[in-house]
Amino acid sequence: MGRIIDPIISQKAAVPPGALTIGCLENRALPLASLEPSLARRIRRTVEARGWQGEPERKLTLSSEDGQTVVTLYGLGAADKLEHVRLDRWLEAAAEDCEAAQHSALTVVPPPHPLLATQSGAAALLRRLALVSYSFGDFREASKPVLRRLQVLPTARAVPVFRRARRVARAAARGAALARDLGNTPPNKATPAWMAAQARAMARRLGAKAKVYGPKELARLEMGALLAVGQGSRNTPRLVRVDVGTEGPVIALVGKGITFDTGGISIKPSPGMDEMKYDKAGACTALGIAQAIGELGVRVRLRVYLPLAENMPDGAAYRPGDIVRTRSGKTVEVLNTDAEGRLVLADAISLALRDRPEALVEFSTLTGATVVALGYHGAALYSPDDRLARDLLRAAEESGERLWRMPLWSEFGEEMKGRHADLRNIAGRWGGANTAAAFLAEFLEDCPSWAHLDIAGPAWRGADQGGGFGATGYGVAATVSWLLRRIGAS
């Protein structure tokens, strides 16, 4: 699993040699009460001399009197405009500066603010901090990690809150790290069979159960859509079920796992195609959630379903014009083989509904249309259940993972009706994220409480987006927060 560091939480402690970063609100008192008085006085004198006021993303750097500690004051801007995204930028900048200066220790002083006065807010900061040292180094020569110690010095009032939040933050960070590892693994290694093996290994670590269905079993289960998508690849499809927990409500998670997506016969343009290894991000997120919930040991029966396939343009590949029969019995006319995710999800959803879950949440990098609508900054939420939607939106806001509810108007479903089959797998040019959600809704008629999260935007960071590169593990933290609140364990 990708490296994370569990932060130490202290009320007052010596700052070890290395880096000290202080988050400062604009025109507010500096949060220096947890620091040694001589260091606090030195910082105040420097701030007064330079007229620094905590303007957004403006930094002020000085050294301790003995020169052993580099102190950076980071402007977080106005208190009434503070959001998790600004805190994230601060921690990322601090980690980058620390690494560039070859410091092995980083001490963080968060500002007193209502956003960090709750357990969920403290957990969000601790989780992000634990992940600042994450790197995916499986395919590079081993290098000794620089950052080895993280310390957080909250205000005296906030210390108990941060300590209570630590356990959940650690589990969510480990879940996100697993999701990142799986997402970043290249497609020549991360085949459907390899992903299934990783799910089994995770289940063994957690004392959970995993069942892997191969091509023959998929045929017996009548999963014609999943088999069709994977039939052009020598890396044959799989479907994985992971059971975490034996008591409590049944909650189903479904994650799209296209281990590489060429688009099939409807092939994608070559620029950026290397990023299509991230088309398995939904499955990676679902496994990351299972990792976190299993580690926390809370009272819930989590049922995770991962449809895994590689979408390739071989001579045996499925074609535009084909009609496939899904496990539900509904037929789908294939108009574009690059709209494959909704097909594999249809079969997985139908199998997941055998458990009669209280709620089903599905994750997928389903459409580029979602990225057009929301950019890379958040995911789209579709649900017919107002309560479930409200609870997921709240959990996303608390955890700092942005989520925006989108419509499920009946017209979108009408656009997905087939000409020669029950359904077709694409509609017209406009509202592609909405019609894709409407397609999935056709297979969820027997499940009153479900949500589809199109995570195509925030699931990974491209080279042109800044602030890191690769899989993000998006969705793990928000869903863990939602599950804990739903079962009363938060």
The amino acid sitting at 310 is E
SS3 (DSSP) at 202: helix
- The mean pLDDT value of the chain amounts to 95
CATH 3.40.50.1000 holds for 8-154: no
Count of other CB atoms within 10 angstroms of residue 465: 12
- Catalytic choice (342, 402, 424, 461): 342
For residue 455, give every residue at least 6 positions away whose Cβ sits within 8 Å of its Cβ, in sequence order, or none: 281, 282, 285, 363, 364, 365, 379, 474, 475
Q: Where are the domains of the chain?
A: 8-154, 176-486
Q: What is the pLDDT of residues 15-42, one digit of tens each?
A: 889 999 999 999 999 999 999 999 999 9
* Percent of the residues in the chain that have a pLDDT greater than 70, as a whole number: 97
Over residues 88-112, the pLDDT tens digits come to: 999 999 999 998 899 999 999 999 9
pLDDT over threshold 90, residue 251: yes
Q: Which amino acid is at 26?
A: E
H/E stretch holding 470 reads strand 470-471
DSSP lists the bridge partners of residue 22 as 73, 109
For residues 242-260, average pLDDT: 97
Mean pLDDT of 393-418: 97
Q: What angle do CA 450, 454, 457 make, to 5 degrees?
A: 155
Catalytic residue among 89, 148, 268, 485: 268
The answer to whether residue 45 scores a pLDDT higher than 80 is: yes
pLDDT value of position 489:
76
321 class by beta-carbon count within 10 Å (0-12 exposed, 13-18 middle, 19+ buried) = exposed
How far, CA to CA in Å, does 123 sit from each of 46, 138, 155, 185, 420? 32, 28, 15, 27, 51
CB atoms within 10 A of CB 6: 14
CA angle 268, 465, 405 (to 5 degrees): 80
- N-terminal to C-terminal alpha carbon distance within the chain: 25
pLDDT at residue 142, rounded to an integer: 62
Instruction: Count the residues in the chain.
Output: 490
* 270 token code pair: 């070559």
Residue 268 annotated to the active site: yes
Judged against a pLDDT cut of 90, whether residue 1 lies above it is answered with: no
DSSP-based three-state secondary structure for 345: helix
Residue 346 to residue 330: CA distance in whole angstroms: 10
Partnered with residue 381 across adjacent β-strands are 405, 453
pTM value is 0.96
pLDDT value of residue 146 = 81
Give the confidence band of 143 by pLDDT, cuts at 50, 70, 90.
Answer: low
458-486 tens-digit pLDDT: 999 986 665 568 999 999 999 999 999 99
Q: pLDDT (tens digit, 9 = 90+) per residue, 66-94?
A: 889 999 999 999 999 999 999 999 999 99
Pairing of strands 470-471, 460-461: antiparallel
* Residue carrying structure tokens 């999701």: 179
Q: Which pLDDT band holds residue 12 (cuts at 50, 70, 90)?
A: confident
Q: Which of 115-119, 138-142, 365-369 has the lowest mean pLDDT?
A: 138-142
Supply the pLDDT for residue 490: 65
Q: Look at residue 14 in the predicted model and tell me its pLDDT.
A: 82
Q: What is the pLDDT of residues 173-211, one digit of tens each?
A: 999 999 999 999 999 999 999 999 999 999 999 999 999
The HSE-up count of residue 41 (CA atoms within 13 Å, CB side) is: 4
pLDDT of residue 469: 81
Cα–Cα distance for residue pair 376/196, rounded to 1 Å: 28
**Candidates 3.40.630.10, 3.40.640.10, 3.40.50.1240, 1.10.1740.10; correct CATH number of 176-486?**
3.40.630.10
Q: Give the per-residue pLDDT at 465.
A: 63
Q: Is the pLDDT of residue 138 over 80?
A: no
